[in-house]
Structure 1
Amino acid sequence: MKRYETQELKIYNSIKGEKEVFKPINDGMVGMYVCGPTVYNNVHLGNCRTFISFDLVFRYLKHLGYKIRYVRNITDAGHLENDAEEGEDRIAKKARLEELEPMEIVQKYTIDFHDILSLFNNIPPSIEPTATGHIVEQIEIIKKIIDNGLAYEANGNVYFDVLKYNENNHYGILSGRKIEDLIANTRSLAGQEEKKNPQDFALWKRAEPQHIMRWPSPWGVGFPGWHIECTVMSSKYLGDSFDIHGGGMDLKFPHHECEIAQGKAASGKDPVNYWMHANMLTLNGKKMAKSTGNNILPRELFTGENTNLSKAYAPSVARFFMLQANYRSILDFSDEALQAAEKGFHRLMNAYQDIELLESSASSSFDVKQWKQSCYDAMNDDFNSPILIAQLFEAVKFINSVKAEKARISKADQELLKQTLSDFIFDVLGLEETEEANNDDTEKIDGLVSILIKIRNKARADKDFTTADTVRDQLIEMGIELKDGKDGTTYSLKS
């Protein structure tokens, strides 16, 4: 018997605004599509949180025994600046700035994306298609939408007819926006006079002479709109209707709204049964932005080479921290929160290692079977990882009580406890034991460096600069770099 046959999973469906019991279209099989990155720059932490959230979904569905096809695309063409209808292609712009070919930019930042997600221990998707690899299919589905009377060509551009579609459908069903408001709030852009209605969106764009990325089509040389690629790749690999579509909250409108309209205009079917949206990540209580300096890239997090955090954090610690919040909640990155997560992570890993050392007895003072189901209950409640983690720490408390001889555990419960912790820590949450967790050295390093910082500070106060410099230089040789700031001295570990 598969685990999914005994567990009732509920998913918060964004299109319904409530949790619903999950019932896949095909028994025992799940089709899931997640919008991937536009590969024109290094992947940022906000993106990583989204992909870690859906890695958790992927892992849990696999753990329940479903056969799952997970499709996540690579956008390597058609995504214009500021998600607009006009302007420069993001990849083409980056290629111009770095004086490279667009496909060099794509290759460079796709590799970075894969490397970073690998460090976070994400499982690769089943299929990772690219927009440029599906130009023919995009042209064919646009022709189909035109034939169905819901798109039109104008001067080499093809636009989706939103008002025509809205006569028999609901454009705005996902985002909750009303068509009247969309009409009133439409910005005036160059080329708008070509459209029947200002809110119509591009399926195909005419390529101006300076546009590098271009393909022949029935409407002239051009390139696809950003939204059409996901409709094409999701339907090609998962069918006209599939189970789960995920992405960041910022994609709900217009991207996902347009996907629904395109899919229904092409096939006549609702393309997705369960829409899932991961929320944003902030840093020190503010939106992340390169322009303000309130920003940190994953590699800067792992190396400690940044101005926002006092030290480096292992990828598994950062993953653990992100999973301490539900994927639908806003999560704030801060040094204090990461330090607390790091300590919790080591407590969890150390307790797991200690299970083997426990002395068993004839009976247990902890209902392991009931606790195990509480772990499933947490994940069955819309993949509620923070509640799952809280349940794991109930087991940590029990393990420590057995170690202190304040509780008992039978041999059978000891084995069940270890297997369940392994399932949820490693298979479901996707955590990995770090060197710090294995050696339990983190707090010792903190303490020792703190003592050396005090010695150095006293030497500087006494104007004994030789001693102060010796402490600093010898720490650097050991891979520990001191940082003097207005709030005192901190350190980071060099890889």
Structure 2
Amino acid sequence: MKQNLFVYNTLTRKKEQFEPLNAPHVGMYVCGPTVYSDVHLGNCRTYISFDLIFRYLTHLGYKVRYVRNVTDAGHLEGDTDEGEDKISKKAKLARLEPMEIVQKYTVGFREVMKIFNNLPPSIEPTATGHIIEQIELVKVMLDNGFAYEVDGSVYFDVEKYNATHDYGMLNGRNLEELLNNTRTLGGQQEKHGKLDFALWIKAKPEHLMKWPSPWGVGFPGWHLECSAMSHKYLGDQFDIHGGGLDLVPTHHTNEIAQNVACCGKNPAKYWVHTNMLTVNGQKMSKSLGNSFLPDELFTGNNHILNKGYSPMMVRFFMLQAHYRSTLDFGNEAMEASEKGFKRLMTAFGLLGGLKASGANEYDVAALKQKCYEAMNDDFNSPVLIAELFEASRVINSVHAGKLKLDVENIELLKELMNTFVIDVLGLKDEHTENEELPKVLDFIVKLRNEAKGNKDYATSDRIRDGLQKIGFQLKDSKEGTTWSKV
């Protein structure tokens, strides 16, 4: 059935009906990591959110080209036009080639994405692989009068651009306000204006990563790579551009300016941004000493949380908050989420053993529609999960013989859970992925019941206690014995 999907657009600051430029094709570009260190949880939250969006659009039948870049050059310290390249600095400290640093952390990033069960993007281009494309864009901006060269470096002229276009259209601030709030930085004397930013930077002799260009040996500015790669793989204009909310004020604002200066169009129809992470109400940051890496979260090797949590539980925890909401890590929230995840996956594990009855006492189709309504409301995963908890309640009731469903609704319930738990949320039960497990447990319960029938209570108790130790609880009632995950 056709779904009316609404997406919050940072550009217009409202939810808009999603209408692709060239349906059923959808182009989506997400700013990827700068690979000079281990991927942090803020990155993970962003990429899990866009994995959800990628999965849902694909489920709706769209042919999505998902492009997520890897920044392996040009990203300077402080996100400015001065200072050392982050990758080069790490390479010097480690006495390695920059590309060794890039390889190590790119591999590590992809491994973490796989652990979180993120689908790989359609294309994963690198900045160093698109130097030619970046140089060509700079040439166009110079020809169009929106850039200027000074001693081997090329800068974007923001005030000249703003005379005919709205430079602050994404961040919602006017030029005067931006100028008043911009501090003077090193290298400012070369620039015509305080807000001007580098498109191409002349390399100092000690700079490790540099390339020849019409303006001399240098390297591209950080903002340029995304304009070049999104343009190459998705065209003058595409559907969705995403990233973290922290990219709005400068990086994405400058991307829009570059693309408009080159081809006269805002590159994306919908700008989508994820919110930040906090720990016990405080912003997560290295300077506050409250940040930790994915591996430290999985192992519990951190001083913030009481214990470690599995990757799927962490994914579930992240999806329990809307992608535009702040996500707060804390012991109570994590423990509550862990219980919820176990409850959902235990119910999912019961699906294979559900038996239909002639009557029907529940409208599964209405529940399925509520799941779609949740996702159609700007990918509202928390509301979807609430509906899936209702589906879990129905599964448990049918399993316990307290609710009757006919064959059609049993199948619809299975379809609902497989669609939204597996395909859309991207969850999997890390401990009970074997679909035969419910049959094995039902057989064990049957053996225990036979032992009880033979008054062999010692064996009956041993089975019950043994299952308890490995995480499964038996519950005896008038309707019979049921099992659940502890």
* TM-score between the two structures when normalised by the length of structure 2: 0.88
Residue matched to 2:47: 51
SS in 2 for 1:169: coil
Residue matched to 1:433: 429
Amino acid at match of 1:247: G
Residue matched to 2:450: none
Provide, for residues 38-64 of structure 1, a one-character-per-residue CA deviation record: whole Å limited to 9, x for no partner.
000000011100000000000000101
Amino acid at match of 2:151: N
Query: Percent identity at matched positions?
Result: 61
Residue matched to 1:20: 16
Residue pairs, 1:253-292, within 5 angstroms: 253-292=249-288
Matched, 1:363 2:359: yes
Runs of 4+ in 1 over 3 A off after TM superposition: 436-440
Amino acid at match of 1:377: E
SS in 2 for 1:382: coil
Of the structure 1 ranges 179-188 and 49-58, higher mean CA displacement relative to structure 2 is found in 179-188
SS in 1 for 2:287: helix
In the TM superposition, residue 436 of structure 1 has moved relative to its aligned partner by 6.6
Provide, for residues 218-247 of structure 1, a one-character-per-residue CA deviation record: whole Å limited to 9, x for no partner.
111111000000000000000010000000
Residue pairs, 1:57-72, within 5 angstroms: 57-72=53-68
Provide, for residues 49-97 of structure 1, a one-character-per-residue CA deviation record: whole Å limited to 9, x for no partner.
0000000000000101110100000000111111112111111111112
Q: Decide which of 120, 126, 131 is 1:135's aligned counterpart.
A: 131
Residue pairs, 1:185-200, within 5 angstroms: 185-200=181-196
Residue matched to 2:37: 41
Matched, 1:242 2:235: no
SS in 2 for 1:374: helix
Amino acid at match of 1:233: M
Amino acid at match of 1:191: G
Residue matched to 1:145: 141
Aligned mates of 1:42, 1:270 — CA distance in 2: 32
Residue pair 1:350, 1:437 contacting (<8 A) in 2 also: no
Residue pair 1:346, 1:437 contacting (<8 A) in 2 also: no
Residue pair 1:349, 1:437 contacting (<8 A) in 2 also: no
SS in 2 for 1:291: coil
Aligned mates of 1:271, 1:86 — CA distance in 2: 27
Residue matched to 1:82: 78
SS in 2 for 1:58: helix
SS in 2 for 1:292: coil
Matched, 1:117 2:113: yes
Aligned mates of 2:19, 2:183 — CA distance in 1: 41
Residue pair 2:167, 2:253 contacting (<8 A) in 1 also: yes
Provide, for residues 423-460 of structure 1, a one-character-per-residue CA deviation record: whole Å limited to 9, x for no partner.
100100000111178789xxxxxxxxxxxxxxxxxxxx
Q: Decide which of 215, 218, 224 is 2:220's aligned counterpart.
A: 224
Tell me: CA distance 1:355–1:49, structure 2 relative to 1, closer, same or farther (3 Å).
same
Matched, 1:181 2:215: no
Provide, for residues 319-368 of structure 1, a one-character-per-residue CA deviation record: whole Å limited to 9, x for no partner.
00000000000000112211111111111111112123333212221111
Of the structure 1 ranges 110-119 and 330-339, higher mean CA displacement relative to structure 2 is found in 330-339
Provide, for residues 388-439 of structure 1, a one-character-per-residue CA deviation record: whole Å limited to 9, x for no partner.
0000011111122223333211111001101110110010000011117878
In the TM superposition, residue 101 of structure 1 has moved relative to its aligned partner by 1.1
SS in 1 for 2:224: helix
Residue matched to 1:166: 162
Aligned mates of 2:193, 2:81 — CA distance in 1: 14
In the TM superposition, residue 211 of structure 1 has moved relative to its aligned partner by 1.1
Residue matched to 1:353: 349
Residue matched to 1:416: 412
Aligned mates of 1:380, 1:282 — CA distance in 2: 27
* TM-score between the two structures when normalised by the length of structure 1: 0.86
Amino acid at match of 1:135: I
Residue matched to 1:304: 300
In the TM superposition, residue 13 of structure 1 has moved relative to its aligned partner by 0.5
Amino acid at match of 1:31: G
Amino acid at match of 2:271: W
Aligned mates of 1:311, 1:205 — CA distance in 2: 46
Aligned mates of 2:130, 2:433 — CA distance in 1: 45
Of the structure 1 ranges 222-231 and 278-287, higher mean CA displacement relative to structure 2 is found in 278-287
Of the structure 1 ranges 92-101 and 256-265, higher mean CA displacement relative to structure 2 is found in 92-101
Residue matched to 1:467: none
Amino acid at match of 2:320: Q
Of the structure 1 ranges 14-23 and 393-402, higher mean CA displacement relative to structure 2 is found in 393-402
Amino acid at match of 1:311: K
RMSD: 1.3
Task: Structure 2 unaligned segments of length 5 or more: list them.
Answer: 439-486
Residue matched to 2:394: 398
Aligned mates of 1:417, 1:67 — CA distance in 2: 26
SS in 2 for 1:39: coil
Residue pair 2:349, 2:432 contacting (<8 A) in 1 also: no
Amino acid at match of 2:409: D
Matched, 1:31 2:30: no
Residue matched to 1:487: none
In the TM superposition, residue 265 of structure 1 has moved relative to its aligned partner by 0.3
Amino acid at match of 2:89: K
Aligned mates of 1:81, 1:394 — CA distance in 2: 48
Aligned mates of 2:73, 2:61 — CA distance in 1: 36
Provide, for residues 5-36 of structure 1, a one-character-per-residue CA deviation record: whole Å limited to 9, x for no partner.
x1000000000000000000112110000000
Residue matched to 2:382: 386
